Amino acid sequence: MSIEAISAAVEEGQAKIVKNLVNAAIEDGIPVTDILNGGLINAMGVVGEKFRQNEIFVPEMLIAARAMSAGLGILEPLLTSSGVLPTGTVVIGTVKGDLHNIGKNLVAMMLKGTGATVYDLGIDVPDQRFVEKAEAIAADIVCISALLTTTMPAMGDVIPEFEKAGVREKYHIMVGGAPVTRAFARAIGADGYAPNASEAATTAKEYLLSSKSKNRKSGA
């Protein structure tokens, strides 16, 4: 079973084959991180480059994304099974105007893997929705994802909504996504930034462990 075969099947948008190959790779004892990074994520990089070069178009990109999600679905229990204390509560979503969800889903999975309870608001999330959900469930961390240079600035609209509601101090707001940088995160007033899903989980865990969370229930 080869990682290259998984990557090729994702690029071709063969969801069923991806599922079979990922299952076979797990049975062969290939590390989950190798399947994820070398097989699934690598393929999306190739797909993105082909799109950029006008070799493929949105429908092909969408089909490849579905195949990638099929593979991720199989990895999810393995990525989230390491749950360790301390736990916390996270609200996550893709910013308004943006329909990309694979990276956000991966961040959500990795966060679950730290033991956190994750509320996923989905894609194209209105600014106010982040505040409403965070308040409703007394979240510790709010995570916002953006994949487009055109939607990235909209992350800067979410934080003022927390300020307007007078609850900004209660939440650790973390942003990320391919075009997002640490400097941009700082410029919009976010508390945290991570370049990838595993660092997002590590950063969230460190924050929860530091007990800075205003909403964290004692003993949680």
What is the footprint of ligand B1M within residues 51-70 (CB under 6 A)?
51-52, 58, 61-62, 65
- State which of positions 61-120 bind ligand B1M (CB under 6 A): 61-62, 65, 97-104, 106-107
Q: What's the CA gap between 14 and 114, in Å, rounded?
A: 31
Closer by beta carbon to ligand B1M, 27 or else 106: 106
Q: Cα dist. 68→95, 115, 217 in Å? A: 21, 24, 36
Of residues 65 and 116, the one with the C-beta less far from ligand B1M: 65
User: Please, which residue, 52 or 211, has the CB nearer to ligand B1M?
Assistant: 52
**34/40 Cα distance (integer angstroms):** 9
Using CB under 6 A, pick the residue from 21, 56, 125, 194 that binds ligand B1M.
194
Please report, as a single letter, which amino acid is at residue 56.
Answer: I
3-class SS of residue 87: coil
155 is a site residue for ligand B1M (CB under 6 A): no
Give whole-number Cα distances, 171 to 88, 93, 215, in Å. Answer: 12, 15, 8
Work out the angle at residue 194's Cα, subtended by the Cα atoms of residues 102 and 152, and round it to the nearest 5 degrees: 65
Of the listed pieces 112-120, 148-156, 163-171, 208-216, which binds ligand B1M according to CB under 6 A? 148-156
Q: Give the interface with ligand B1M as residue ranges (CB under 6 A).
A: 41, 44-45, 47-48, 51-52, 58, 61-62, 65, 97-104, 106-107, 143-145, 147-150, 174-179, 194, 196-197, 200
